[in-house]
Amino acid sequence: MVVRRDSAVGERAPDGSSKTGKSAKKAVGAEGETSPAKKAAEKATKKVTKRAEKPAEKPAGKPAGKKAAPAAKKTAAAKKAAPSKTAATRNTPAKKTAPAGRTTSAGKAAVARKVKPADVVLPAEAAVEKAAPVKKIAVRPPGGESPTALVRRARRINRELAEVYPYAHPELDFENPFQLLVATVLSAQTTDLRVNQTTPALFARYPTPEDLAAANPEEVEEILRPCGFFRAKTRSVIGLSKSLVENFGGEVPGRLEDLVTLPGVGRKTAFVVLGNAYGHPGITVDTHFQRLVRRWQWTDETDPGKIEAAVGALFPKSEWTDLSHHVIWHGRRICHARKPACGACPIAPLCPAYGEGETDPEKAKKLLKYEKGGFPGQRLNPPRAYLDAGGKPAPPLGAA
Ligand code: SF4
C-alpha cells in the first residue's frame, strides 16, 4: 500500500505542542503546509503559475464561524498573527510567468515534491489561527476573468461535479462524531481506505472516549500500526479522548473553537467533523482541494486559511460541505497531482489547466481511480447511494 497524503488531518502534535523541522516529521498533524520543503515547492509553483494581483482581504458581511472569534482574540498569538497576515497580503506582488493552465518542468517538480512523503512535515498551527473564523473577502479572480465570470464558472464546476459524484460523501467509515474525529486524526499520511480497514478493530475494543482515554498505549499502537506513524497517532487519539472526558463530558464538541483545543485536531479535522457529523457548513482544505482550486484559478493563494476564505466567497455557505466533497473526490479520482486525466475529465471545458495531464481519452481513462476506474471505493461501509450507483465497498484489512 502506497502511503500518501490524502486526507484531512490533525495539525497539532499529539501533546498539543508545536513541532517543526525534523521533530515534526514524527508527529501526527497537518499536511505539511508550513514545512520548509513544502514552502519551497509552493514558491516554485507560484513562479510558474500565471497570476494577477493578489486579492486584498476585505471583510464583508457576517463571518462564518463567528463564535470562534472571541476565543481567538483573547490570545496574544492572535495579535501577532493578524498583522503578519495583513502584511503578507498587502506586500504580495503581482506576478506573470508561465501561461495559465500550463505547468513547466519546475512546476511539475514542485507538484511532485508536494506529494513526496519525505517532504511532508506535520507542523502545528497557532491555536488562535485554528479557531479563527472563515473570513469573508471580496471575489478577486487571479486570472483575467471578472469576479462575476469567476463565480459563475466556479459554481458551474461544482454543479457539474455534483452530477459526476451525486453520491459524494466523507470517505471515512464512522457511526458517531467520536469515530469520525478519531478516524480523521488517523488519516494523516495515509489513505482513508487504510484507516477504514484499521478502525473496526479499534472501535470494537475502545468504543467510547472513556475507553480510549484509559487504554494501554502499547495495545493501541498494535492496532494502529497499519496506519503508519502509529506511536504518534496513538498519543493523539488517547490524548484527545482524555481531553474529551476531562473537558467536554465525554462528548465531541460541536464548535470549532472547542474542537481545535483537542490534541492532534486542527481546522481541517474540525471542519470534517463539523460538516459531516454535525451538519455545520465548512470548507475542508486538504491537499486535493488546494491543488484543484489553484488549477481552476479560483484562487492563487497557498495558505489554507486564505484558500478557505477565497473559495468561501465564491459559494453560498450552505454549499461548502458538499463542495468540499466534490472537489476532493475529483482530486482523488480524476484530477490527480502528477497525472491528471484531462482526456477523461467531465469539466475539461471549464478548466484553465486542461492539458496539464494526459489528454488522449483512452490513455486518460486508464488513469481513473476508485469507482471511476472500476475499482472499489475507500469505505468498507459506503452509503446506500454509492452502492446504488454501482460503487463497491472496500475490502477489509488483509483481504486479497
Ligand atoms: S483533470 Fe485536467 S481538465 Fe480536469 S480539472 Fe484536472 S487539470 Fe482540469
Q: What is the distance between the alpha carbons of residues 270 and 27, in angstroms, rounded to a whole number?
A: 18
What pLDDT does 132 receive?
A: 63
What pLDDT does 14 receive?
A: 38
The CA 346 to ligand 1 mean position distance, Å, reads: 8
Identify the CA nearest to 173 among candidates 156, 191, 160: 191
What are the respective helix, strand and coil percentages of the chain, to the nearest 5? 50, 0, 50
pTM over 0.75: no
Q: What is the distance between the alpha carbons of residues 212 and 10, in angstroms, rounded to a whole number?
A: 18
Ligand 1 contact via 295 beta carbon (within 6 Å): yes
Q: Which of these is catalytic: 6, 192, 286, 300?
A: 286
| Residues 264-274, mean pLDDT to the nearest whole number | 94
What pLDDT does 135 receive?
A: 61
Residue 55 has pLDDT above 60, yes or no: no
Is 357 within 8 Å of 340 (Cβ atoms)?
A: yes
The CA 348 to ligand 1 mean position distance, Å, reads: 6
| Residues 334-361, mean pLDDT to the nearest whole number | 98
Instruction: Verify whether residue 192 is a known catalytic residue.
Output: no
Q: What digits encode the pLDDT tens for the residues 215-239?
A: 999 999 999 999 999 999 999 999 9
Q: What digits encode the pLDDT tens for the residues 138-197?
A: 888 888 899 999 999 999 999 999 999 999 999 999 999 999 999 999 999 999 999 999
Residue 66 has pLDDT above 50, yes or no: no
Q: pLDDT band at 314, cuts 50/70/90?
A: very high
- Comparing 143 with 376, the larger pLDDT belongs to 376
Instruction: Verify whether residue 286 is a known catalytic residue.
Output: yes
- Helix/strand/coil for 302: coil
Q: Which of these is catalytic: 130, 233, 268, 372?
A: 268
- Comparing 281 with 27, the larger pLDDT belongs to 281
Residue 51 has pLDDT above 50, yes or no: no
What pLDDT does 140 receive?
A: 81
**AA letter at 38:** K
- Helix/strand/coil for 164: helix
Facing residues of 157 across strands?
Answer: none
In this structure, the chain runs to a length of 400
Q: pLDDT band at 399, cuts 50/70/90?
A: confident
For cell 463571518, name the residue.
Answer: 63
What pLDDT does 103 receive?
A: 38
| Residues 98-105, mean pLDDT to the nearest whole number | 37
Q: What is the distance between the alpha carbons of residues 14 and 29, in angstroms, rounded to a whole number?
A: 8
- Comparing 144 with 346, the larger pLDDT belongs to 346
Q: pLDDT band at 101, cuts 50/70/90?
A: very low
